[in-house]
Structure 1
Amino acid sequence: MDPHLLRTYVTVAELRSFSAAARALGYTQSAVSQHIAALEQDLGVPLLGRRPVAPTPAGERLLEHAGSLLLRIDAARADLARYGAAPREELTVAAAPLALHPAVLAALPATGVTLRVLPRAEVPAAVATGGADLGLVDGAAAPSDPLSLPDVAPLTAAVLPGAAEQPLAVVLPGDHPLARRTGLRLADLADARWLDAPAAGLPLDRLRAAAGTPRAFRPALRYEGTDVRTLVALAAAGHGLALLPAAAARGAGAVAVPLVAPRLVHRTELLHPGGAPAGPAARVLAALTGADRGP
């Protein structure tokens, strides 16, 4: 399967237009049509309906594979490009909003750094494809358990002593009936209204898995931003509950009640491509892990 043809197909399927895909890819519309025809001939099934332009059932199934296939190809290109390349003197760090621990920020060089705040699901791909030299990811996990990361490429996850695990707290309005509790169990909050904030908070599907209640934790409001302070403000205003690291769960009008069950912590890990990093990436890794990883 030719990855160029596959990339053309994904673009047409997403834009629902041959002409729009041609403009996006810098091809002629005739070339786009030829790419789709060649891919359909190679796979032996029709992938796109023409009027309107939309994936066929086989095309929908191909889309389920295409993202990971193209990501793997991009990751392989980026990985091989690092061989023989001189160490970069500038550093790009991709970080999930809740992974920006003060100890991590203090370890960054004073100059030459670009910090990209991304939804946590996008951080591993950014590191794998060369969009970032280092990545900071986070999530809820049992104490001492590593995070479950998508298999996008061979990446190394480093534990950060002193910043790896933090207690979790439920964020409530100050006048909430549970605000004066000394601790809360996640199972007791399954029927409460929650904030759905996949980028700034902890995903609701992780809460459902931890509590063993696949249909609970119904969202009251969806927040698609990355600013944690806004998420806390939404919780304080009564739009729904949120589960956050205790250190990030404070704000005007908000109360943070410790989570006591199940035993979960907020875990942060540092990602870098396979092999030993060099230059400023190596120095940041050494500062955060206490290991001597090069000059």
Structure 2
Amino acid sequence: MDPHLLRTYVTVARLASFSEAARALGYTQSAVSQHIAALEADLALPLLTRRPVAPTPAGERLLEHAGALLLRLDAARADLDRFAAAPRTTLSVAASPLALHPRTLAALPATGVTLCALPRERVPEAVATGDADAGLVDGIAAPSDPLRLPDVAPLTATPVAEEPLAVLLPAGHPLAGRPGLRLADLVDARWLDAPAAGVPLDELRSVHGGPAGRGFRTALRYEGTDTRALTALAAAGHGLALLPLPLAAGVPGAVGVPLVAPRLVHRTELLRPAGRVPAPTGPVARFTGRLGA
């Protein structure tokens, strides 16, 4: 299966248009049509309906494989490119928003840094494909347990920090005076769903272990990455949020009550390419060295 044809197919399916895909890829519309026809001939299956442009059942199944296949190819190319790369004089870091806390920020060099905030699931991809020299990713886990990361490519994950968790509530909430809260007591509460700026509700449902789709109702969904906006929403009474305890402390109009059960922590890990790749040098080496110390 030719990866160039596969990439064209994914773009056409995503944009639902041959002409839009041609513009996005820098091809002529005729070339895009030829790519799709060649891929369909290779697989001996129709992959797209033409009017409207949409994946067939076989095309939908191919899309389930295509993202991982293309990502692996991009990661392999980036891995090999590192052997020929000149020593780095700058540093690019991809980070999920909650991974940016005082320790990780203090490790950044004073100059020559590009810091990009991304959703958690995209941080490993950025490191694997060479879009970032290093990644900072966070999540919730049992104490000392590693994070469960998507298997996008061989990556080395180094623990950086573990912090207690707290439930952020408005100051006048009936539970605000408690010394601690159990997650099981909050299943029926109204929550803020902020997958990029806070702990995603899907993670709460997973660690709670209740029936699929039950509990932790979304009162408001926040699509941004600004944790200050999330804490302000919680303080205004739009829903509860689970955050690292240091971040939940001192929010005006809100109270951070420690989560006491189950035993979970907010964990941050440093991601770097794994395997026999050239050792980092320059700003990359200094950054990773400070975090590993």
TM-score, L = length of structure 2: 0.96
Q: Secondary structure at the match of 2:258?
A: strand
**Cα deviations across residues 173-202 of structure 1 (Å, max 9, x unaligned)?**
111111111100001100111111111111
Structure-2 residue corresponding to 1:293? none
Q: Distance in 2 between matches of 1:199 and 1:159?
A: 20
Per-residue Cα deviation, 1:34-57 (whole angstroms, up to 9, x for no partner): 100111111111110011111111
Superposition pairs of residues 32-43 of structure 1, within 5 angstroms: 32-43=32-43
2:46 touches 2:58 (CA, 8 Å); kept in 1? yes
The residue number in structure 2 matching 1:183 is 180
Q: Is the 8 A contact 2:139 2:266 kept in 1?
A: yes
Unmatched segments (≥5 aa) in structure 1: 291-295
Unaligned runs of 5+ in 2: none
The one of 283, 288, 292 equivalent to 1:289 is: 292
Give distance in 1, aligned partners of 2:207 and 2:101.
24
Instruction: Please give the root-mean-square deviation of Cα atoms over the aligned residues, in Å.
Output: 0.9
In the alignment, is the contact (CA less than 8 A) between 2:159 and 2:267 conserved in 1?
no
Note if 1:217 corresponds to 2:216: yes
> Which one-letter code corresponds to 1:247 in the other structure?
P
SS in 2 for 1:94: strand
**What is the CA–CA distance in structure 2 between the aligned matches of 1:57 and 1:92, rounded to whole Å?**
40
Which residue number in structure 2 is paired with residue 241 of structure 1?
240
Letter in 1 for 2:162: E
Counterpart in the other structure of 1:262:
262
- SS of 1:277's equivalent? coil
Task: Report the counterpart of residue 87 of structure 1 in structure 2.
Answer: 87
What amino acid maps onto 1:280 in structure 2?
P
Q: Which portions of structure 1, spanning 4 or more consecutive aligned residues, are displaced by more than 4 angstroms?
A: none
Distance in 2 (CA, whole Å) between partners of 1:169 and 1:107 is 25
Name the structure 1 match of 2:100.
100
Is the partner of 1:82 in helix, strand or coil? helix
What one-letter code is carried by the residue in structure 1 that aligns with 2:288? L
User: Is it true that 1:138 corresponds to 2:135 in the alignment?
Assistant: no
Q: Secondary structure at the match of 1:9?
A: helix
TM-score (norm 1): 0.95
Q: Please state how far the C-alpha of 1:258 moved relative to its aligned partner.
A: 0.3
Q: Secondary structure at the match of 2:272?
A: strand
Per-residue CA deviation, residues 93-132 of structure 1 (Å, 9 max, x unaligned), is 1111000121111111111111111111110001111111
